[in-house]
Amino acid sequence: MSDTLSSFQSAVNASNISGFIATSNALSASKLVNIANFTTPSASLTSSIQMDKSSIDAMSEVIASYNKMLSSTHLQAIQNIAESTKKLIASYQIDYSKIFSNINELLKSLPLTYTHEEIEQIISGVKLLAESGWVIYFREKNVYQHILAEEWNCLEEEWIELLRDKLRDRDFIIDLQKSECYSEPLVKSMVGCYLNQNFYAAYTLGSLAIDSALNRITEMISSRKKIPVGYKAVEEVDTIFIEKSFSDVGLMHWLYNFFKDTNRFTLDEPNRHMVGHGRWEKEIEEKDFLKLFNTILYIYDEYDKWLENLDTIGQKIMRELKI
């Protein structure tokens, strides 16, 4: 850009620019008046069409005088300036919407920092949620703030509606049926029972689904003759986490409770053994099933990650054994 301006200045200095100005000023006043008249509306359509030839001649003389005084060097310099200016402006044509969008995504990806005390409170909170039957499947950005504030009712009401929507979503249920961790006819029957408001049957089938997802994992990692199931399967699954999120902590706490000993079938809440062995004597409410279904979805979402963890752990063992 600076080179172009310099060349233009040199061209100006080398020319008789004052002559250009003098030539322009030398035009007669009458010719300039004619030019002005040329742009002034006439009284009638006829007179506007029959323009004064002298006006056109005056315009031609002005244009000619400019062309004579602007040498090819001037014109080239001006053109260079124009091109450089275009490039300069183009370089600053920034898509700010894209920039702000990227910044927004970056901010979303940044982990929130918590104090040691807050971390302990969150862990305690997710365990309390698990004891009340909930794991954190819906991980909206403010979920841990709700937990710190002990806003359980707010979370529960929102999750219940979201789970109902999932169960009414035919495409979502078809995908769930085709998952690697659950039996297709089992999921289909479970959802059918729910839609028919047979919540006891839906809960029973759902408990089988969770049991099956866990023993599919233990089947891969256990060399025992008998594949670990139930509580022992939970213990095995607990070993495959490379690192646990707050939500994972809640899930494992939920699973241990779900498969815990019934103390001779005296538990006052439904779990895998109370229901699976036919010892739960009370009705199963819709909310009881939705809590269970919530965990089914959590496992469904995390199952592929669990398989990746198994692969990573297996590769690490092979490296240590130098196989």
- 267: exposed, middle or buried (C-beta count within 10 Å: 0-12, 13-18, 19+)? middle
Q: Is 272 left (phi over 0), alpha (psi -120 to 50) or beta?
A: alpha
**Contact present, 31 and 61 (Cβ < 8 Å):** yes
pLDDT in tens, 193-215: 999 999 999 999 999 999 999 99
pLDDT at residue number 75: 57
For residues 85 and 166, the model is more confident at 166
| pLDDT (average), residues 150-174 | 96
CA distance 206 to 189: 9
Kindly tell me the number of DSSP H helices and DSSP E strands found in the chain. Answer: 17, 0
Q: What is the pLDDT of residue 33?
A: 39
Could you report the per-residue pLDDT of 24-64, keeping only the tens digit for each?
444 444 443 343 433 344 444 444 444 445 555 555 564 55
Cα angle: 248, vertex 252, 255; to 5 degrees = 140
Comparing 79 with 247, which gets the higher pLDDT? Answer: 247
Ranges 19-23, 141-145, 304-308, most confident:
304-308
* Encoded tokens for 246: 């707050």
- Average pLDDT along the chain: 79
pLDDT tens digits for range 107-161 = 444 445 789 999 999 999 999 999 999 999 998 878 999 999 989 899 999 999 9
* Residue 9 in this model has a pLDDT that exceeds 90: no
* For residues 278-284, average pLDDT: 97
Instruction: Give burial (CB, 10 Å; 0-12/13-18/19+) of 16.
Output: exposed
Give the separation between CA 234 and CA 218, rounded to whole angstroms: 9
What is the mean pLDDT of the segment spanning 232-241?
Answer: 95
- Can you give the length of the chain in residues? 323
Sign of the alpha-carbon dihedral angle for 149, 154, 156, 162 = negative
| Closest-CA residue to 302 (of 179, 202, 203) | 179
List the domain boundaries for the chain: 2-91, 116-321
Triad 222, 232, 184: Cα angle to 5°: 75
DSSP-derived 3-state class of residue 19: helix
Per-residue pLDDT tens over the stretch 68-95: 555 555 556 566 666 665 565 555 444 5
pTM of the model: 0.65
Checking if the pLDDT of 295 tops 50, the result is yes
At 88-118, the pLDDT tens digits run 555 544 454 544 454 444 444 444 578 999 9
